[in-house]
Amino acid sequence: MRLISSYYASSRVIFKAIPMIGLELAPLSDDERLHEDKLRSEITSVIAARGGWISFADFMNLALYAPGLGYYAAGAYKLGIGGDFTTAPELSPVFGRCIATQCEQILSAVGGGEILEIGAGTGALAVDILEELNRARCLPTAYRILEPSPELRVRQQQRLLALDASLRNRVSWLDSLPTDTFSGVILANEVLDALPVECFQVTKENVESLGVIATSNGFAWAPKPANAALAAAVTALAATRGVNFFDGYRSELCLSLEPWLAAVLKSLERGVALFVDYGLSREHYYDDSHLGGTLACYHRQRQHHDPFVNLGLQDITAWVDFTRVADAAVAIGLTIEGYTTQANFLLGLGFDEHLTALGETLTQSDRMRLIRSAARLVMPHEMGETFKCMALGRDYSSALRGFSVRDFTASL
């Protein structure tokens, strides 16, 4: 099982982080065009009501979360084969088993507790975690899921029917963040990248917010002087890098991260929050290799860079500034328990052992398919280096196994 690196010189799977630039977008059905027209009309009305211009963060929020119409609020099929992108839990059960190993360590250290998963995808991660924790005899007292997508909630409920009733009965769904406090684990796999971002550009005179206007030909980018919050945030970024952004520099940042993180972590009385997403430390996020930013869209397993098409039918994302996540966590009293690549994280959690165990009862051909899919979780040209893992602790002091191979916290 340790020879997986020999397979993958050219193989690819479509993740959110792997571009498919240059491919034509998949055509829309009549129903999809009708859906897009409804959301376009809704956004156009909002733009008109706000004087003809809205920030990109507001546009992204509407495109993803407008009630009944936004990408995550409507019924579009999103994840896996036939969807728009594939995430790690759908790719291989090895991912969930490794996460479960980390959850086991945390739950044992805090004397038991709950797991809260934010944005549970198809439910594959919940199934794998609960089954592995059951084998380890370290089940959480409850497994709660906060899922904003009605379509995904239904898929999760159907997926969890495969669980034994004793495990399934531990799972419940929340309509909003919990108001009670608990000890245990918070999980968020590919959630931070879907938080709305502000797009900006720097000129010789000032910082401009790249917002959105409605034209006869559709939506279009339109700059205007940035408000005080955005201008201050961009100035702080430049100070962090120790340079001035050059005239015409464009990128994005997430001003909603701090309040969102505070709200999510408020209920964690003792334990660890684990975030897995594609992203970088601030120093690398805003270096010259990422000119223009990281904003991307995903539709039918293709990546492109036009957020103004396929409204309500495509995902819109941006990479995560993990330095910003760390700063926000420390500001509300949490500690950084680890930051590393997904490859290091999974290897530290027994990736090889879990892969071997999963393959023991398989035929040779099925075992090879398992190895090929699992390898994409850790290979550098796949998810292994692009995706990062960060752990935030509250009243927690045990060294986490997932960061035992290598910890890059000092790079933040």
Q: Regarding predicted confidence, which is higher, 243 or 205?
A: 205
The arithmetic mean of pLDDT across residues 214-218, rounded, is: 95
pLDDT for res 84 = 59
pLDDT at 17: 39
Residue 300 has pLDDT above 90, yes or no: no
Percent of the chain exceeding pLDDT 90 equals 81
CB 314 within 8 A of CB 355: no
| pLDDT at residue 2, as a whole number | 40
Distance CA 69, CA 62 (A): 8
E-state strands within 197-249? 198-202, 207-215, 218-225
**Where is 91: in which H helix or E strand?**
helix 88-91
The helix (run of H) or strand (run of E) holding residue 56 is: helix 56-65
C-alpha span between 386 and 183 (Å, rounded): 30
Percent of the chain surpassing pLDDT 70: 92
Residue 195 has pLDDT above 90, yes or no: yes
What is residue 40's three-state secondary structure? helix
What is the structure's pLDDT at 148?
Answer: 84
When mean pLDDT is compared across 76-90, 138-152, 194-208, 304-318, the lowest value belongs to: 76-90
pLDDT of residue 7: 32
Q: What residues pair up with 319 in beta bridges, in sequence order?
A: none
Domain borders along the chain are: 1-412
Which residue type does 393 have? G
Q: Which of 239, 78, 74, 92 is nearest to 149 (CA)?
A: 74
Query: φ and ψ at 393, to 5 degrees?
Result: -115, 150
Alpha helices in 288-362 (DSSP H): 322-331, 342-348, 351-359
Task: Read off the tokens for 278.
Answer: 């594609």
Could you tell me which CATH number the domain at 1-412 has? 3.40.50.12710
Return the H-helix or E-strand segment holding 115.
strand 114-118
* Residue 123 per-residue DSSP state: S
Length of the chain: 412
* DSSP 3-state of 81: coil
Residue 93, exposed/middle/buried by CB under 10 A (0-12, 13-18, 19+)?
A: buried
E strand map for 228-344: 250-253, 268-280, 296-299, 302-304, 315-317, 320-321, 335-341
Strand-strand pairing, 198-202 and 207-215: antiparallel
Q: What is the mean pLDDT of the chain?
A: 91
pLDDT of 16 above 80: no
Whether residue 21 is predicted with pLDDT greater than 80 in this model: the reply is no
